[in-house]
Amino acid sequence: MQFDRLVNERYSVRKFTEEPVSDEEIQKILDSIYVAPSGQNKQPLRVWTIRSKDRLEGVKRITKYHYNAPLTIAICAVPEEGWVRKSDGSNHSVVDAAAATMQAWLMAEDIGLGAVWVSDFDTNLQDEIFPEMKGTELVAMLQIGHISPESKPLGWHSKKRDRSEMFFEL
């Protein structure tokens, strides 16, 4: 898909079919995360693919925003490994995880899948259900799957701020 079309037509998919995401499709998404930009190329990330029925039930326990997607990709930041801006000590590991998440989302869309970025989850329960993620900061649970024919963008998707409130020239 052409990039301008991809970014303009992408939306948060909240309705998926039951068709599983193939190993090849997952690998393409993971490859896009692998080459995502990060501060000083430190790649302070840990990424988990979750697709087994019992582990997807765990996803459902920590967030109501699972949308019954057949695949969750959990993208976590590792603050101790992130680039830190010297002037103010700002750690950019979460920024790097966000860039990786967006890159994964765009790849999913590019290969014909739908996705939605979920950040509303119970972080305390997360450590209990997914102890493998302990010591990381879960930035996104990208819910991914084949788009249901009934899927459509929510009403607020096309509502945008006035450009004069967002863009400025110095």
pLDDT in tens, 135-160: 999 999 999 999 999 998 887 777 88
What CATH number did the domain enclosing 83 receive?
A: 3.40.109.10
Range of the domain at 120: 17-147
Report the pLDDT value the prediction gives residue 8, as an integer from 0 to 100.
84
Total domains in the chain come to: 1
Q: pLDDT tens digit string along 42-100?
A: 999 999 999 999 999 999 999 999 999 999 999 999 999 999 999 999 999 999 999 99
The answer to the question of residue 55 being in a domain is yes
The answer to the question of residue 98 being in a domain is yes
| 83 residue type, one letter | W
% of the chain surpassing 70 pLDDT = 99
The answer to the question of residue 154 being in a domain is no
- pTM (two decimals): 0.93
Report the pLDDT value the prediction gives residue 9, as an integer from 0 to 100.
85
The answer to the question of residue 58 being in a domain is yes
The answer to the question of residue 70 being in a domain is yes
Report the pLDDT value the prediction gives residue 84, as an integer from 0 to 100.
97
Assess contact for 70 and 108: CB atoms under 8 A.
no
Report the pLDDT value the prediction gives residue 91, as an integer from 0 to 100.
97
Q: pLDDT-based confidence at 167, cuts 50/70/90? A: very high
Mean of pLDDT values over 91-112: 97
The answer to the question of residue 152 being in a domain is no
Report the pLDDT value the prediction gives residue 1, as an integer from 0 to 100.
64
The answer to the question of residue 169 being in a domain is no
Q: Where are the alpha helices (DSSP H) in 63-137?
A: 93-110, 123-129
Q: pLDDT tens digit string along 6-52?
A: 888 888 999 999 999 999 999 999 999 999 999 999 999 999 999 99
The answer to the question of residue 10 being in a domain is no
Distance CA 88, CA 146 (A): 43
Report the pLDDT value the prediction gives residue 85, as an integer from 0 to 100.
97
DSSP structure class, residue 112: T
Tokens representing residue 75 in the block: 């993208």
